[in-house]
């Protein structure tokens, strides 16, 4: 199995993407460390009888720096290393005209999508640098690639996360640590439901996008794993690992 005995920390393991990544990594033989904020990873996702060891799962608030440090310390104490971090956390944040948004909700979305991602990266880098090996994967979104009116917290935080990932990848490229960010595309998830519930508050573009997604079928997250397994396999196993820095060299 390609990830046999690799210690894989999956943050946000109870969401649509997190549960699918956990199932894929279990199939590949990884030692799973699963974290969640409010609800545990569904038992139907992880078959403990097929795991090299029982998944190590606990609650984690990625917006709390002390909590993140303690979580990484727990993993190091148990396994003496962290080979892979997959950050599946994320929130859509408030939807609506920026002039009417709650500042607290807006800042909270930045706290989860950007600051929380920094905390996770910051916490796992020292042990990865010490072992001179590691993989970090974040997930971006549509808001990172183009303007997303009425979803300014989401688009701003995801765009910033892309640049953060590129920048850190350039810093550690000589240390055998690969950092990548993947745009998963439309996924049936909690965010999908929030977009639908927002209705007219999301603006015309949001309504048109939802209509298109309803009419034109797209792969549910489980089937996307077929494609993701190829991407993650490339990223994680080093067959063709290029950091974001190599895709976007300085000056471009």
Using DSSP, state whether 10 is helix, strand or coil.
strand
pLDDT band for 14, please (50, 70, 90 cuts): confident
Q: Which residues are catalytic?
A: 154
Establish if 176 belongs to a structural domain. yes
Establish if 250 belongs to a structural domain. no
Tens digits of residue pLDDT in 59-106:
999 999 999 999 999 999 999 999 999 999 999 899 999 999 999 999
Domain count, the chain: 1
Q: How far apart are CA 208 and CA 229, in angstroms?
A: 30
Using DSSP, state whether 145 is helix, strand or coil.
coil
Establish if 89 belongs to a structural domain. yes
Q: Which domain holds residue 189?
A: 7-241
Establish if 247 belongs to a structural domain. no
Mean pLDDT calculated for residue range 151-177: 94
Establish if 104 belongs to a structural domain. yes
Mean pLDDT calculated for residue range 191-214: 66
Q: Reply yes or no on whether the pLDDT at 240 is more than 50.
A: no
Mean pLDDT calculated for residue range 37-46: 62
Where residue 44 sits, what CATH number does that domain have? 3.40.50.720
- Residue whose pair of structure tokens reads 């948004």 in the numeric block: 101
Q: How far apart are CA 127 and CA 81, in angstroms?
A: 7
For the chain, what is the largest distance between any 2 Cα atoms, rounded to a whole number of angstroms?
A: 52
Sign of the alpha-carbon torsion through 85, 34, 45, 91: negative
Tens digits of residue pLDDT in 100-132:
999 999 999 999 999 999 999 999 999 999 999
Establish if 191 belongs to a structural domain. yes
Establish if 2 belongs to a structural domain. no
Q: What is the pLDDT of residue 233?
A: 53
More confident residue, 164 or 173: 164
What residues are paired with 180 via a beta bridge? 137
Sheet of strand 31-36: strand arrangement: 56-59, 31-36, 7-11, 84-87, 134-139, 177-182
Average pLDDT, the chain: 80
pLDDT band for 17, please (50, 70, 90 cuts): confident
Establish if 225 belongs to a structural domain. yes
Q: How far apart are CA 75 and CA 82, in angstroms?
A: 7
Could you please report the per-residue DSSP string of 90-106? ------S-GGGS-HHHH
């Amino acid at each position: 199995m390609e990830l046999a005995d690799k210690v894989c920390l999956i943050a946000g393991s109870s969401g649509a993407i997190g549960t699918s990544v956990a199932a894929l990594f279990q199939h590949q033989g990884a030692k799973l460390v699963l974290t969640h904020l409010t609800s545990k990873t569904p038992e139907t996702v992880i078959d403990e009888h097929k795991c090299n060891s029982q998944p190590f799962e606990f609650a984690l608030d990625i917006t709390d720096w002390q909590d993140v440090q303690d979580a990484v310390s727990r993993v190091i104490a148990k396994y003496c290393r962290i080979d892979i971090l997959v950050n599946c956390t994320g929130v859509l944040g408030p939807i609506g005209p920026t002039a009417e948004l709650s500042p607290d909700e807006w800042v909270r979305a930045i706290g989860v999508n950007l600051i929380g991602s920094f905390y996770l990266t910051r916490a796992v880098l020292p042990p990865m640098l010490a072992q001179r090996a590691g993989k970090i994967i974040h997930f971006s979104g549509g808001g990172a690639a183009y303007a997303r009116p009425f979803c300014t917290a989401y688009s701003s935080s995801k765009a910033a996360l892309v640049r953060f990932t590129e920048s850190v990848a350039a810093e550690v490229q000589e240390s055998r640590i690969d950092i990548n960010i993947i745009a998963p595309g439309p996924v049936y998830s909690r965010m999908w439901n929030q977009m639908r519930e927002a209705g007219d508050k999301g603006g015309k573009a949001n309504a048109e996008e939802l209509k298109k997604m309803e009419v034109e079928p797209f792969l549910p997250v489980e089937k996307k794993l077929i494609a993701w397994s190829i991407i993650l396999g490339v990223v994680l196993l080093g067959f063709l690992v290029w950091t974001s820095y190599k895709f976007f060299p300085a000056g471009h």
